[in-house]
Amino acid sequence: MTEETLSFSLLGLTGYAYGLLIALGAACMLVFFARYCKAEGLKSGTAPLFAALSVPLGLICGRLLFCLLDFRFRSMFSLRGTLMFWGGGFSMAGALLGAALAAWLTARIQRIAPIRVLDVAAASVPFFIAWARMAEMGTELLGRSRPLTTAWLAGSFLAQSDGYDAYLRTYLLEAVTAGALGIGLAVRFRKKKTHKGSLLLCMLILGCTQVFWESLRFDSHMRYSFISMQQILFALMFAASLVIYAARCGKKEVITAVCVCIALVAAIVGLEFMIDRSSVNNLILYIPYALLLAVPVWLGLRYKKRSEQH
């Protein structure tokens, strides 16, 4: 942890607000997972087993993916440096991969259909993400945007200042989005009485929104030039969901989904280049950016509805 991170002392030990909120997020996720398991009628040992697996696997996968994909760390890559996880450096996409792996292993051990546990985990994970993003408010560099040039935005509660420039609190927008997704999936469960389909729905919405939020981030976390590695991972997430939805409808829909993904990637790379290198106001560029990412969400939900009607 760096010096600017919020810290506190307890019984002679130094603690960090970042780690405390991460732990709170993990606890929140596990509480929702346990409640959903009970409501879905899963075996009684499912929730404790998932808890025992998800925390270490989330840490391991989150740390490992960061070490492999962050260009600054790769230049000094070592086993010792990788194991020193308390110094910071994790990938959110890696942590989610760890949670998914924990859900799959839990299902195999409990002899439950893996998709059932994955659906329940997907409905619980957004609450972890929300708290994990809020943890970044205690750091100086994580979760902030490029310096703002729009006066009304720079003076709003969404901005923070370091005395020289104003920056968008991107972490706050990510936390609100994840929290809203978690609440939305909870409401969906109350109506449908099942979490069936939550995994694909979460992958679609979370993937698209995180591609956008990762673009707003300018903290050099896992970035190569003007592209974030996290963006690529989350883009693969929503693309996989879209193609699976399309496959349930037919071959023509799969071709359409793949073409949409390819065109979208090309358009986003072009927009990212303009955001990074051109003098055009970023606010103007982010409007078509958001509209483009709404296309796979709309198409995926459309395919989802059609497949459920068959």
* pLDDT at residue 1, as a whole number: 42
What is the distance between the alpha carbons of residues 181 and 238, in angstroms, rounded to a whole number? 15
What is the distance between the alpha carbons of residues 207 and 203, in angstroms, rounded to a whole number? 5
Written as six digits, the tokens of 173 are 């927008």
What is the distance between the alpha carbons of residues 32 and 162, in angstroms, rounded to a whole number? 37
- The ranges assigned to domains in the chain are 14-145+167-305
* pLDDT at residue 32, as a whole number: 96
Burial pattern 95-121, b for ≥16 Cβ within 10 A else e, equals bbbbbbbbbbbbbeebebebbbbbbbb
Closest CA to 37 of 26, 27, 25, 49: 49
* Backbone conformation region of residue 77, classed left if phi is above 0, alpha if psi is from -120 to 50, else beta: beta
pTM: 0.86
* pLDDT at residue 101, as a whole number: 97
Written as six digits, the tokens of 217 are 């981030």
- Residue ranges with strand state E in 33-187: 144-147, 159-161, 166-169
Q: Which positions ≥6 away from 200 have C-beta within 8 Å?
A: 241, 244, 245, 300, 304
Neighbours of 1 (CB within 10 A): 15
Written as six digits, the tokens of 135 are 């943890």
* pLDDT at residue 78, as a whole number: 58
303 within 8 A of 246, measured Cβ to Cβ:
yes
**Average pLDDT, 10 consecutive residues per value, the chain (310 residues):** 53 68 93 94 94 94 83 60 63 92 96 95 96 81 68 71 75 93 92 89 95 82 73 93 95 95 93 85 88 96 87
Packing angle of the helix pair 114-134, 198-216 (nearest 10 deg): 30
Count, in order, helices (H) and strands (E) of the chain. 12, 7
Written as six digits, the tokens of 186 are 């909870």
User: Helix or strand or coil: residue 158?
Assistant: coil
Instruction: Tell me which H or E stretch contains 10.
Output: strand 7-10
Backbone angles phi, psi at 217, to 5 degrees: -65, 140
What is the distance between the alpha carbons of residues 110 and 106, in angstroms, rounded to a whole number? 6
